[in-house]
Amino acid sequence: MATSTLVQLLAAGEGADTSNRRQIETFLASGAIAAGDWVELDNAKTGADRTLYVKECTGVATKGNAGAIGVALAAAAADEQVRVVVAGYVAEASVAGATVAGDALVGPIGTAGRAEIEVPGTTTGAVCGIALDADTANVAPVLVIKRF
């Protein structure tokens, strides 16, 4: 579902949702998705539903899931609408432990829905975000890199 970019006030201290550098798309959830989870398009669907439905991004061992497109803003159950940040700032995204500010992030490797730290030469999944702070209990603010 398409969104539009509106002219907005940009001033220091504004909320995360006031920046025109953040893009949110609305999808349908294929299954349970938690707030802060990284999601991917559901390729198990057919036809145009492949770009209408998202699911919690699955782990791809060693490489990282190249399908990660964004971060869910709120929890959703199967067939419910879920708003996903596909570009820009997210205050609380699921990330690997030991993440620090500036780390490049790739889609999940082990834990579904959780971005991992890119390891050059090892992780081959595309970079989907950048950590803006160190994680606290596997949650950190991130900049989602537009891939959708």
- Tell me what pLDDT residue 148 has: 86
Task: Calculate what percentage of the chain has a pLDDT beyond 90.
Answer: 78
- For the entire predicted model, the pTM comes to 0.89
- Tell me what pLDDT residue 37 has: 98
Q: Is it true that domain 23-144 has CATH number 2.40.300?
A: yes
Instruction: Give buried/exposed letters for 35-74 (b at 16+ CB in 10 A, else e).
Output: ebbbbbbbeeeeeeeebebbbbbebbeeebbbbbbbbbbe
Q: Is the pLDDT of residue 36 over 80?
A: yes
Average pLDDT estimate for 26-54: 97
The domain locations on the chain are: 23-144
Confidence of residue 46 (pLDDT cuts 50, 70, 90): very high
Residue by residue, DSSP assigns 1-19 as ----PPP----TT--GGG-
